[in-house]
Homo-oligomer: A and B are copies of this chain.
Amino acid sequence: MTAYQLSPIAWIDTPFNEKFGIPRQSIGLSQARGKLRFREDINVVNACRGLEKFSHLWLSFVFHQHHNKKWSDTVRPPRLGGNERVGVFASRATHRPNPLGLSLVKNEGLNTLNELIVSGVDLLNNTPILDIKPYLDYADCAKDAICGYAPSRPSDLKLVSFSQSANHQIKKINQTQTDFKALLVSILEQDPRPAYKQDLKNDPKQYHITLYQWDILWWVRDTGIIVKSITLS
């Protein structure tokens, strides 16, 4: 059988250094920004000419951190509570016969170093990008689509609050990383815990996520999600 050899056109820098906590399908998460560093033989100014006229872009990428792991023909999507199995092609699961991902992002344009800035990313830091295509609404938006078990964005957002020391850190970090607090809140309010724990209040477990170089420790109480501390990881 013919196989096709595809090489990255770029790699994307994102705030997400580990998989846990990366929002799923995050076009709504406008705070999460990414920077595409193109490979050297691509003339970026030429290849992106006219791209500024499109507000949204498709990124085709490789789920690079597990392309050697075996895929299974059924998966348990978090949306179904992690219990029910559906076919791998009826899901956006990362383990697929081909480790291809697809993400719609907002186009923020080239910077002065000819890196392409995008926002609303849900990609792991350093993800290899295979292609960029302009979003065409007449072709890419299906009116009246029926979307199975994921008919709409998860809407039940948790309240996020901060301990005194976390608050103190946030203020410091925000001086250089101006989107930090907004990004952190938008990730935590979706409750990144495994689906079977979503209903558990007063969860005794402490959780970590990392954003940029920061390690964030949080837990879930009656009042919602509480960030306990933020430290350099």
Chain A interface (Cβ within 8 Å of chain B)?
A: 1-9, 25, 27-28, 39, 42-43, 46-51, 53-56, 58, 60, 62, 67, 73-74, 85-92, 96-100, 102, 104, 106, 128, 130-142, 144-153
**26 pairs, A vs B, C-beta closer than 8 Å:** A1-B7, A2-B128, A3-B6, A4-B6, A4-B128, A6-B6, A46-B87, A47-B73, A47-B74, A47-B89, A49-B90, A53-B148, A54-B146, A54-B147, A54-B148, A55-B142, A55-B145, A56-B142, A89-B134, A92-B133, A98-B130, A100-B130, A134-B148, A137-B147, A140-B141, A141-B142
Q: Measured between C-beta atoms, what is the minimum distance from A38 to chain B in Å? A: 10
- B132/A153 in contact, CB under 8 A: no
Between A4, A48, A148, the greatest number of chain B beta carbons within 10 A of the residue's beta carbon is seen for A4
Chain B residue with Cβ nearest A154? B138
Q: Which residues of B contact A142 (CB under 8 A)?
A: 27, 55-56, 104, 106, 135, 137, 141
Q: Which residues of B contact A136 (CB under 8 A)?
A: 25, 92, 147, 150
Q: Which residues of B contact A49 (CB under 8 A)?
A: 74, 85-87, 90
A92 vs B58: C-alpha distance when bound (angstroms): 11
Q: Which residues of B contact A138 (CB under 8 A)?
A: 25, 27-28, 147, 150-153
- 12 more CB-based (< 8 A) A-B contacts, given A6-B100, A55-B147: A2-B8, A3-B5, A4-B99, A6-B6, A25-B138, A49-B87, A51-B87, A56-B142, A106-B142, A134-B147, A138-B152, A140-B141
- B149/A102 in contact, CB under 8 A: no
- A48/B89 in contact, CB under 8 A: yes
Q: Which residues of B contact A6 (CB under 8 A)?
A: 3-4, 6, 98, 100
The 4 lowest CB-CB distance pairs between A and B, nearest first, are: A53-B148, A25-B139, A50-B86, A49-B87
